[in-house]
Amino acid sequence: MLGNSVDGGNCELIAVPAVNVIPIPGGLDFNQAASVPLVFLTAWHMLVGRAGIRPGQTVLVLGAGSGVGIAAIQIAKMFHARVITTAGNEKKLEKGRALGADYGIDHYKQKISQEVRKITNKEGADIVVEHVGAATWDESMKSLKPGGTIVTCGATTGPNAAFDLRFLFSRQLSFLGSYMGTMGELHEVLGHVFAGRLKPVVDRTFPLQETRAAHEYMDNSQMFGKIILNP
């Protein structure tokens, strides 16, 4: 069963209301199922519920190897968008392209906004999927076309992002916050996952007793996809 608990935590057993439990179809194993609900719901709500993605738009997805990034690349492609993604090395960019990204930017070696301008013939992106925070906010803004939208669900590098208000209003940009999603959206995106149109990516599994090792592995930022703890 897919269990969705707002409290989180690492444990062997947890009690949740029956309404929060969704049967797993035969084509999905427990590790894959565990990697789905949070990130696919979050990315769906960001792109569909908040940003109103439309076919033909250009979407910049930060962090190809993150859970939200992996989901957002696939969702954007499902809507026939042109997808640009970022990562810290070529191996991750290759995996991002394998998921459907049309272009990749190495954010350690290249300036994101400059590369987006080159790719789009100076036009910019319609939507930026932002979850990094302070380290990328300025580049995310500069990557947008006039009238473009940043939709953000996180601040992993810090919550304080300063920007020039004149840039915001003169280019008529939209900044949208997004937090998880609705139960209806969860069922909607799970329908696509269960049908095979969207695919979860598991990087590595750990037994529950190796929780510390799992967190240390995650802190090294070398993973591409979700890290799963098994009871």
Which domains are assigned to the chain? 2-37+186-230 (3.90.180.10), 38-177 (3.90.180.10)
Q: What is the mean pLDDT of the chain?
A: 93
Q: Say what the pLDDT of residue 139 is.
A: 96
**In which band, very low, low, confident or very high, does the pLDDT at 77 lie, cut at 50, 70 and 90?**
very high
Q: Say what the pLDDT of residue 5 is.
A: 45
Q: Cα–Cα distance between 109 and 187 in angstroms, integer?
A: 39
Mean local confidence (pLDDT), 170-186: 96
Q: Which amino acid is at 104?
A: G
From the list 168, 128, 172, 117, the residue with the least C-alpha distance to 150 is 128
Q: Say what the pLDDT of residue 27 is.
A: 86
Distance of CA 128 to the CA centre of its chain: 11
**In which band, very low, low, confident or very high, does the pLDDT at 8 lie, cut at 50, 70 and 90?**
low
From the list 36, 33, 1, the residue with the least C-alpha distance to 15 is 1
For 121-148, give one letter per residue: b (16+ CB within 10 A) or e: eeebbbbbbbbbbeebbbbbbbbbbeeb
Under 8 Å between Cβ of 44 and 71: yes
Q: Say what the pLDDT of residue 2 is.
A: 53
For a pLDDT cut of 90, what percent of the chain falls above it?
85
Q: Quick check: helix, strand or coil at residue 129?
A: strand
Mean local confidence (pLDDT), 77-90: 97
What's the pTM? 0.92
Q: Say what the pLDDT of residue 9 is.
A: 66
Eight-state DSSP code of residue 87: E
| Token pair 């033909």: residue | 56
∠118-124-127 over CA atoms, to 5°? 135
Mean local confidence (pLDDT), 26-35: 92
Q: Say what the pLDDT of residue 112 is.
A: 98
